[in-house]
Amino acid sequence: MFKIILTFSFIASAVLAQAADFPLCLYEVNEAKYIKGVKKAGFNCIQTYTLDPKKLSILAKEAAKRDIKMLVYPNKIIGSEYEKEASKWPLLALYLYDEPDVSKKDNAYLKELDNKAKAAFPDKKTAFVVGKGSHAKPYYDTADVLMVDWYPVPHLPLTSFGDQIKEVKNILKEGGLPAKPVWGVVQSFDWREFKQYRPDDQRIGRFPTVEEMRFMAYDGLLEGAEGLLFFTFNSKSVPLSKAKPEHWERLKKVAKELSKTMPLFESGIKAPSPLAGKNNFKAQRRIYKGYCYDIILNISEQERELPAEFSDKEYKILYGTAGKELPPHEAVILKKRS
């Protein structure tokens, strides 16, 4: 099969720039010395499980220096000597709780956390993450941002990631509340490094490939995610750059690409896609700064032929593999003048 593989070109980089407000975050960045490398990789924010306000202050100073936002727990900050200082930290949001649905915490418990955070920091957003899209329903009216983490590799279909984003979006719509951001947490870890609830006690897993991480990210974006986070920066509590440098390189490749394409989703205008309603593909067209961008996913398990209109010589391939057929679960972005 004839294939062309292109990386982001000079021409494309002149058109797309770093998104200003679209979160592209990395979980578990717990030490200031790693922030520079995280920024260089393409991320614009970090999440940390660090609770100590003194350590958070050190992180915040380095994050501000690198123009990095932070997602932090407010628990230990509230009432501490650092509370006033924290109001000036580069906070993306206050992280209320990690998977209350899994821990069987009800909405009243989460609302109490939300109220405390807003009383201390009235101008800051609050956020929390659920472990499954449908589990967001009891909590739909709490916090400013809803997040969902869904980690399908290798045991579930990759397309289930976008399904979870879609489900949360539908729950918010059905709740009749004003729209609020939904952020998706993309798998970048090996399931074998975490507890698994399997009756046979067999640990399964592997690190996702570049192609799988790209697919999940774009699948979430096409379903309406307004931010992406990657879990996690660590492998068995050791930063990937040290523990798994080869996987860190893969993750950096994905983050760098997304940092360039985020403006399409942040500021690009949606337009009808030629692939709307066609089987085997999920697609979206965005008009941005005089150019037409087509984001196309092959959502099937087989190679699929791309419709003839995309073989037009006017199209430039920005990312992904393109030719007569797209590989299974491939994401490709094409560009032409609008």
pLDDT tens for residues 130-182?
999 999 999 999 999 999 999 999 999 999 999 999 999 999 999 888 889 99
3-state secondary structure 244-263: CHHHHHHHHHHHHHHHHHHH
- Residue 203 scores a pLDDT above 90: no
pLDDT band of residue 322 (cuts 50, 70, 90) is low
DSSP secondary structure letter of residue 178: P
pLDDT tens for residues 218-241?
999 999 999 999 999 999 999 999
Torsion over CA: 247, 21, 263, 37 (sign): negative
Second CATH level (architecture) for the domain 18-267: Alpha-Beta Barrel (3.20)
List, as one string, the DSSP characters of 71-121: EE--TTTTTSTTHHHHTTS-EEEEEEEE-TTTTT--HHHHHHHHHHHHHH-
pLDDT band of residue 200 (cuts 50, 70, 90) is confident
pTM (2 d.p.): 0.93
pLDDT tens for residues 240-288?
999 999 999 999 999 999 999 999 999 999 999 999 888 899 999 999 9
Q: Where are the domains of the chain?
A: 18-267, 270-337
- Per-residue pLDDT, 22: 93
- Per-residue pLDDT, 48: 98
Second CATH level (architecture) for the domain 270-337: Sandwich (2.60)
Arithmetic mean of pLDDT, 34-53: 98
- Per-residue pLDDT, 276: 84
